[in-house]
Structure 1
Amino acid sequence: MEVREAKPNDRPAIRDVARRSLQASYSLDPKAIIGAIEEWYDENRLRNLMEDDNKVLLVAIVDDQVVGFSDSEVTGENTAEILWLHIDPDYRGEDIGIQLYKATQNHLATLGTSNLRGRVLADNPGGNAFYENRGLVKVGEEEVTIDGTPYVENVYAQVEAEQMEEVQLDDGTTVYVDHGNEETGSIAPFHVVYTDRNGEDIFGYWCSKCESLANAMDAMGRIQCDECGNARKPTRWDAAYL
């Protein structure tokens, strides 16, 4: 198996793998799957993915055929997220997903990211188990809208206790700021905040510009600090919104 960066002529195969993977892994309405593929992997977005230095689109090749791909993004100075990792159902059980994951992790590391996060819909036991088996910990849940319907998305992360700073909020609540896990903001980075030192549940985000808590996020993953206006762009595409 070969893993390489996606090329323009891979686009039809990428869409086909995504469609087959979504059909096999999720109990989504067929209309929602079609809408998701058209929005997330249409010609323009795939072209932008391949041209954006902060986005990584890798494909797994077997016998000159695209059988899987990973869609990732650098979200902070040393943090990256795997938004999707799809494997053609006919090629599952052959460790292709593991090899693609490792290749993606290594590629992101060359971009200066040491903290890796992964996202997977809650309605995919196999996908959730995949990240858990790679040593990532579920740190929270967010909402993603697919063709107008909201779904729960689990967020997994590499969590190290020594990176945590204990912070007491004005109401007496104790939270833990992970200085090794950050998101790019329009003014300064946001750091992920957890309810416990082990990083089991996300509480919100810490704005490093004004050192205040920003725990409001909309369905598309947009974060904004009410104190200084620092903002993180959306992480998801919402077909109904666009």
Structure 2
Amino acid sequence: MEIREARANDRPAIRDVARRSMQASYSLDPTAIIGAIEEWYDENRLRNLLEDDDKVLLVAEHKGQVVAFSDSVITGESTGEILWLHVDPDYRGEDMGLDLFKATRNHLASIGAGNLRGRVLADNAGGNAFYENRGLVKIGEETVDIDGTPYVENVYAEVEAERMEPVELDDGETVFIDRENEETGSIAPFYIVYTERDAEDIYGYWCGKCDQLANAMDASGRIQCDECGNARKPTRWDAAYL
């Protein structure tokens, strides 16, 4: 299987996959599905989608045939939303959807959209379970118009990424504060600061009292804020603190 950006000659296959996927996944009237496909994926919209820098259309190709695709959009400075993720029913159960989801998430992150959201109609039990199994959390509901009829659409997000607060330091570097991940200080909490939004590498600690970086830590794990004196006790044994 190859996952790649869509091309103009993929348009008929994209419409066919969308139609077959919606027929298998949603309890919608067949005429509504056909109307939706014509509205969302007609020649002009697909052409504009492929030319728009804020839109991302990836396809999964198996033996030269497009069998799945994801339709995403950049909605903010660092947020990408998967609007639709369709897999041909004949290719479900082969991790096609999971591989496409991962590739879409990585692609969005590579162009600066580290916050991931996903949308799925409320009556698609399998689609909702898919996002929940990926660790995304339902954060709200909206409506989407399908052939003139409104339907409830659930919105999911990677909460870990959503809660990261970007802060630009004096040297111009941007770090990310996780205010839900804290260490107890003598005056106020210390919040963990990461080098990237994915929260893999710790940069230092943020003082909750004076709201500034308190990056000094000794070998025993003691943190001290030079501005206000807020301190975290050492996490490892050291004779100096007996």
TM-score tier by shorter-chain length is: 0.5 to 0.7
TM-score, normalised by the number of residues in structure 1: 0.67
Structure 1 residue identity aligned to 2:134: R
- The Cα shift of 1:148 comes to 1.1
Tell me the amino acid that sits aligned with residue 11 of structure 1: R
Partner of 1:143: 143
Q: Which amino acid aligns with 1:160?
A: E
| Alpha-carbon separation, structure 1, partners of 2:77 and 2:61 | 30
Paired letter, 2:119: R
* 2:159 counterpart residue number: 159
Secondary structure of the corresponding residue to residue 102 of structure 2: helix
Q: Distance in 1 between matches of 2:63 and 2:4?
A: 14
1:110 partnered with 2:104: no
Q: Is the Cα contact below 8 Å between 2:115 and 2:161 reproduced in 1?
A: no
**Who is 1:6 aligned against?**
6
Residue of structure 2 in register with 1:74 after alignment: 74
Query: What CA deviation, in whole Å up to 9, does each residue of 1:18-55 have, x standing for no partner?
Result: 00000000000011101100000000010011100110
Paired with 2:48 and 2:161, the residues of 1 have a C-alpha distance of 36
If asked which structure has higher relative contact order (CA below 8 Å, sep 6+), I would say 1
User: Could you list the runs of 5+ residues in structure 1 that have no partner in the other structure?
Assistant: 165-178, 181-196, 198-242
CA–CA separation in structure 1 for the residues paired with 2:61 and 2:146: 28
Asked whether 1:48 is paired with 2:48, we answer: yes
The aligned counterpart of 1:193 is none
Deviation of 1:161 (Å): 8.9
Q: Please give the alpha-carbon distance, in whole angstroms, between the structure 2 residues aligned to 1:143 and 1:114.
A: 25
Query: 1:87 — aligned with what?
Result: 87
> Map of 1:208-227 to 2, 5 A cutoff?
none
* Residue deviations 1:203-241 (CA, integer Å, cap 9, x gap): xxxxxxxxxxxxxxxxxxxxxxxxxxxxxxxxxxxxxxx
25 and 162 in structure 1: CA distance in 2 versus 1, 3 angstrom threshold: closer
Aligned residues: 167
Change (3 A) 1:7 1:136: same
User: How far apart in 2 are the matches of 1:18 and 1:140?
Assistant: 24
Rounded to whole Å, the distance in 2 between the matches of 1:25 and 1:87 is: 10
Match of 2:120 in 1: 120
SS of 1:160 mapped into structure 2: helix
Question: How much identity, in percent, do the aligned residues show?
Answer: 79
- Partners of 1:71 and 1:80 in 2: how far apart? 11
Quote the Cα distance in structure 1 between the aligned partners of 2:24 and 2:90.
10
Decide whether aligned partners of structure 1 residues 51 and 162 sit closer, same or farther in structure 2, where only a CA change above 3 A counts. closer
State the TM-score, normalized to the length of structure 2: 0.67
Unaligned runs of 5+ in 2: 167-179, 181-242
Partners in 1 of 2:97 and 2:69 — Cα distance?
A: 9
